[in-house]
Structure formats: structure tokens, C-alpha cells
Structure 1
Amino acid sequence: MIVNFGNTCKINAARFGATIQPRFNYFYFLFDEIKKGFTTSCRPFIGVDGCHLKTKYEGTLLIVVGGDPNDQYYPLDFGVCETESKESCRWFLTLLLEDVGQHKIWIFISDQQKGLIPVFEEMFERVDHRLCLRHLYANFKNKFGGRT
């Protein structure tokens, strides 16, 4: 059997009692080779976005991308969480920074997700956070109409 050592896979589940089945909370996955490529050749730019899963179990899919030297997206890691909460975003971003290194100053870009902004403000001193201009434009257009 071939094994890829160095990959990170974490699952967080809540257990409410010894006889009760654990309930899924969060999932995080990062391939080691992708991490090596990102940390050695990409800029310290990280984009984070989420989309709602419309399945039987619902939840939110979190996607992280970087920017490579050719100005292309570099898919970095992904995770699934039950809801887009402050706790799930903190868990996910803490694992991400443990994997890619906390010694660099990272620039994060995201939309105005409920859980992300408070986490950036309170947890990470070495992180700059910016909002995605495309999301700001779409929100502005929805609020003020088509004359934007």
C-alpha cells in the first residue's frame, strides 16, 4: 500500500455522552505536496471562501487558495464545517496556519463571512485581512440597485 506521509487530516466531533454517537462538527484536509509547493513558491496571499452544501447533511465547504508566481490560483486546502461560525473558522484557520507556518506575515482575503472577521481581529497579529472587491461590489449593487 502506498501512503502519502505528511498530509494533514483532522476531524472534530462533539460527544454528548458515553452512549450517544458523536456528532460531526468540522473537517480539515491539506495534502503535504501542495503545502510544500505553496510555502516554497507562492506569495503570502491566502483567499478563503465558503459555500453552503445543499445535501442531506448540509454544512459549509471552506476552500483556501493561494496565488502562484504566474498569477494563477493555487488550490491549497479545504474543509467542511457544520455552520460558518466563529468557532469553526477559528479551528480551521488555526490548523491552516500551523500547516503553512505562522512565522510569515500572511495576507488573507475573504468575503464578509460571519465567522471569519472576528477571528482575524482577535487571533492573528501576523495576519492582514482584506475584503474581496467582487463581493463588496455585488453587495453594493444588491443594496443600491443597478446604477453602480
Structure 2
Amino acid sequence: MTNIELLSTVNDHIRKFPDLHNQACWAEGVAIDSVDWIGARETEADLRAGEVCGTAFCFAGWAALLDGWHQCRGDCESFVVDETGHVQHMEYAARESLGLTAVQADYLFDGGNTQELIDRYVAAIVADPATTGDDLAYIWMAYLDEG
């Protein structure tokens, strides 16, 4: 089942904090308090509140973090872990958290998406959680035609 609330929350978050959004990579930097460039007193909660610079996430990364997943350290920055210790790539954690189909996730999580295109995809999925790949392809083609 599509998590409309989380879908809308993530889109609102990346619009509110554009400096913390980088659609071209899962994770840019690490959102944990032990990383020197983030600072000893700052936490994931600070990051979620838009109060930490030096790190950014794509739509999928934000979906995972805002749904309670925690970013892994070191060479595994694009992986997240839940409270039970279950580890997943941000893409799969976000897809699960958002309740998206594989096709919906492919379109929404694409690294070349602009904020305008993300807004259109989100609006379509919110309006109809059964939005198909054909529907999303039409949105993408219409967007390109305007460009």
C-alpha cells in the first residue's frame, strides 16, 4: 500500500531543504554524529530538521531516513539499517517504506530527475497510487517536450 503521507513528507522536505538534496547520488556524506565534518553534537535528528550541512540524499535516501532507517558508516553510505539490525540498500528500504512498485520507484528515484519532475511524479502517485509505468512515461515525455 502506497504511503502517501511519507511520499508527501519527503517531497516537502527536499523542497524545504534543497541544499540537503542531491538526486544524483544515494548519499553524499554521512548522517551520523561521529563524522568529523558534521560535528560531535549533531545527530540524524538535526539532519532531518535541515540543520546540518555537508551531507545530502536523493529522494530515496530521504524516504529511508525520514521513515526511521539509519545510515550505515564507512564504505556502506548508501545502505541503511533498521532498529532490528536489518540492513538494506537505500533504494529498497525507500521502496518498501513508500510502498511503491518497482516501476514507480525506478521513475521517482532516477538520478537525472529535477525537482519539477519529482513534483509531477509525486502528484501523480498521490492522486492515483496505482499509477503505472506508462503513466509515468507520459509525464516524463511531456516534461521533456516542455523543456
Larger radius of gyration: 1
- Kindly indicate which of the two structures has a greater share of residues assigned to helix: 2
Higher relative contact order (CA 8 A, sep 6+): 2
Give TM class, smaller chain.
under 0.3
What's the TM-score, normalizing by structure 2? 0.28
- Kindly indicate which of the two structures has a greater share of residues assigned to strand: 1
